[in-house]
Chain A
Amino acid sequence: MFAGSEVHALSVENLRKEFVRKDGRKRTRVDALRGVTFELGRGECIAILGQNGSGKSTLVRLLSTLLIPDGGSARIFGHDIAETRTVRTMVNRVSVEASFFKKMSATENLAYAARFYGLTPRETRERIPVILDRVGFPVSRRTHAMEHLSRGTQQKVALARALLTSPVLLLLDEPTTGLDPRSKLEVQDFIREVRAIHDTTILLCTHDLAEAEVLAERIGILDDGRLLCLEPADEIKDRYGVETLEEAFFAATGRTFEDEREEEEEEVRA
């Protein structure tokens, strides 16, 4: 199979994905990822920064086996993502939307999801209370429908769902976007704890520059489907001769995060 430390937790090489957008009878090919290459060591946490449409979620979906690449390759602990079953046992994901069956309780949502990963009812009866307790989920609300929980609390349950299956690679796609400051800090603390205790390798896609800087050893800037760099924060700042990560992002892409916030607001208004 693979030889211990020589195998990267994640090895992505020239990964490409394009989508066809239809506008009436006109078809346009849009490159979502244009030959992305990087490697991720076991137990490492990297953050990928990028604006909306930069390709972050496409990268996460490709690694989750939810999309089929148009070129290149990605290997998770030596297994090509085309080996879907093996890869799926190793990977889990938390996305910006804490997606659940909203009428079902946290316990019910976690139980059935764990079943798909081979956990028996006895195992989930033992593990779910422990993991919900660790994410700070109130015992009294375990049987309440998810729709009655705050967004921050739902996101904690989403983290619990991902960790319940003991993934060796955790893909976090904007896990704290839209959370209030307190919930955001709690989720970030939990991510740190997961790394410390479980030796989980983490790929974090985020809008939050500060979050990237405090959680990740290396930071990548993804712009228009291209990975412009992937280095420790200080090296990125040195490379562009700037003081902050935000300035580095601007120097690398020609855009600021403020531009993106305005775009998001326009989308909401639309």
Chain B
Amino acid sequence: MTAIAARARHELIGLLGVVERNWYLVKRYAMWELAFFVWTIANTLSIVFISKAAGLPPDQENRLTTVLLIGAVIWAYLGIIFEILTETVAWERWEGTIEYTFMAPLSRPVHLIGMGLFAIAYGLVRATLIFAVVAAMFGLHMPDANFATALVLLGIASVSFIGIGMMTAVLPLISPEKGTQLGFMAQGIMLVVSGVYYPVSVLPQWMQWISTISPATYALRGIRAAILEGATPADVWGDIWPLLLIGAVAIPLGLWVFRRGEQYAKRHGKLKRSG
């Protein structure tokens, strides 16, 4: 076996280890996962019920409910992605395992991509369940929905979300006390400018400019078109190509930012849990 093949094999096994560890944790915290799911459902309902108060005719109410539900589900999905990636540092620091993970011969890109892959798989399951449960509760009709296109868009957008998540994941390394909260802040800002519950056109011009670099803008618009109008990937190409472009920049940038943060932590002795 050549050195490159051996190295690739090692990295692949390491990536499996990252996913495996996260799966063990989901199993061990099963009841907490259930509690978190109930909370996410409640959070989604608190948004979706707005459509009931709008006093619209049934077909328009159905449409508004679906628009709000997509926004709430994407919010929840993004929250999961950011949370899992932030745990790359935050949870490990809390458990005290971070030094063992960071001294292992696993490249940081593979480590982070492993976290990202698990986050996507876990987030997709959660988002699908939330969508299905709330849609069933409201008896939503989506006769034209093209779920395959919606999934394609979410998958492509996830690449950008992972890249941005890598940037926020490093924050607990720089500020052990407040870094995690900064991650939530980044998630909130991204969704505010991306039209999470409203069209981007209602935003002030300067926020609309920012929305053009947010992957959530294209994900929300494309997914709504797929579910409400049955758009195909070709129909939403105008949303897909910006996502591909942002993803191509976000992953290398995220890795670079994380590497800089890790180097900073190693220079200043901030990897360890205390002191």
Contacts and interface: CB of A to CB of B under 8 A. Distances in A.
A67 to B, nearest CB: 5
Contacts of A103: 25, 28-29
B15 to A, nearest CB: 9
Interface string A87-129: 0110111010101111110001001111111111100000000
Contact of B103 (A20, A65, A102): A65
B17 A99 contact: no
B102 interface: yes
B261 interface: no
Interface string B234-275: 000000000000000000000000000001001111011000
Interface string B23-37: 011001100000000
Nearest to A120: B13
A19 B24 CA distance: 37
A102 B100 CA distance: 14
Contacts, number: 97
B17 A68 contact: no
Contact of A100 (B20, B95, B102): B95
B269 A67 contact: yes
B14 interface: yes
Contacts of A58: 269
A145 interface: yes
B265 to A, nearest CB: 9
A99 B95 contact: yes
A88 B101 CA distance: 11
A88 B103 contact: yes
Contact residues on B (Cβ < 8 Å of other chain), bracket = 20 to 34
A85 B106 CA distance: 8
A178 B138 CA distance: 58
A17 to B, nearest CB: 8
B271 A99 contact: no
B95 A111 contact: no
A114 B20 CA distance: 11
B10 interface: yes
A61 B271 CA distance: 10
Interface in B83-113: 95-97, 99-107
Interface string A7-20: 00000000000011
Interface in B52-107: 95-97, 99-107
A104 B14 contact: no
Given A111-B20, A115-B14, A145 B103 contact: no
A91 B16 CA distance: 22
Given A68-B267, A111-B20, A118-B9, A101 B25 contact: yes
A116 B99 contact: no
Contacts of B10: 118
Contacts of B263: 68
B21 interface: yes
B229 to A, nearest CB: 44
A66 interface: yes
A64 interface: yes
B266 A66 contact: yes
A115 B13 contact: yes
A64 B25 contact: no
B96 A116 contact: no
A103 B263 CA distance: 30
B104 A85 contact: no
A114 to B, nearest CB: 8
Contacts of B13: 115, 118-120
A19 B268 contact: yes
Nearest to A97: B96
Interface of B: 9-10, 13-14, 16-18, 20-21, 24-25, 28-29, 95-97, 99-107, 263, 266-269, 271-272
Which 9 residue pairs of A and B lie closest in terms of their CB atoms, listed nearest first? A115-B17, A99-B96, A116-B104, A118-B10, A88-B105, A112-B21, A103-B28, A116-B106, A64-B103
